[in-house]
Amino acid sequence: MRLPLSFVLAASSCLATALPLAAQERSLNFGLGIGVVGQSAYPGSDDYEGSADLKFTFGNLTWGNVDIGAGVGNVPDNGVSLGGALRIIGSRDAADHPELAGLSDIDTAVELGLALNYQQTHWRAFGEVRQGFGGHEGVAGTLGADVIFRPTDRWTVTAGPRLNLGDSEYAGTYFGITGAEAAGSSFNAFDASGGALGAGIEIGATYQIDNYWSVEGLLSYEKLLNDAADSPITQLGSDDQLSLRIGLSRAFTLNF
């Protein structure tokens, strides 16, 4: 899973320049992290692979009267807030997975979008909508909720359910099989429709070393649903998807 940082930073810059110019404070707060991740080799696979992982976390954007996000490492205020959303889906290459012979390769996908959060002291609920670039050009989203534990000032532990959604463009990219692919492979053609494509649980823990550095761990389980589970790709692999990430992050603030 590789994060094209130049693309994400460029997208953040484009967002900033699209906002009205104001003669007030302008700043962008974000986090950059590096770690290791073990996860399914591709959506629907029963094989797992480990790799280095880069992470970008949107913290806060201040531009005149516009103030979005709570900032990296800060405890968000209770109530409704708007933030950024990012997800990276690694590439799928049939040359690396003989069971996919005859299927088209898929490039790494970057999903960028917005998140709406409702925060209380010990729980939160959120929804994300993300537009895909690169490997797929569909729209995906996540609905979720967490209970929040803060055993000390430095530790934050979260746990809660997730529901992952995608449109037909997204579902067709990762779980569909075209007639041409079926003719050149051992799979039957399959038209994957969008909707609720996975549900599961996510557990995360963060230790804030200081105002800039933090150590993070994230464990997630997803059960593929509907056409994602019925796809011949998943039938050959597994509808149980696991992911484990451990990383180190640093917060940055750019004033401009």
Q: How many CA atoms lie within 13 A of 71 on its CB side?
A: 12
To the nearest whole percent, how much of the chain has pLDDT over 90?
76
Range(s) of the domain holding residue 45: 5-255
Tokens representing 99 are 């069971």
The CATH number of the domain where 30 resides is what? 2.40.160
Whether residue 220 has pLDDT greater than 50: yes
Question: What pTM does this model have?
Answer: 0.84
Q: Are 163 and 143 in contact (CB under 8 A)?
A: yes
Give CA–CA dist 11/27, Å, rounded.
15
Per-residue pLDDT reduced to its tens digit, 102-158: 999 999 999 999 999 999 999 999 999 999 999 999 999 999 999 999 999 999 999
Give CA–CA dist 86/113, Å, rounded.
6
Whether residue 23 has pLDDT greater than 60: no
Give the count of domains, the chain: 1
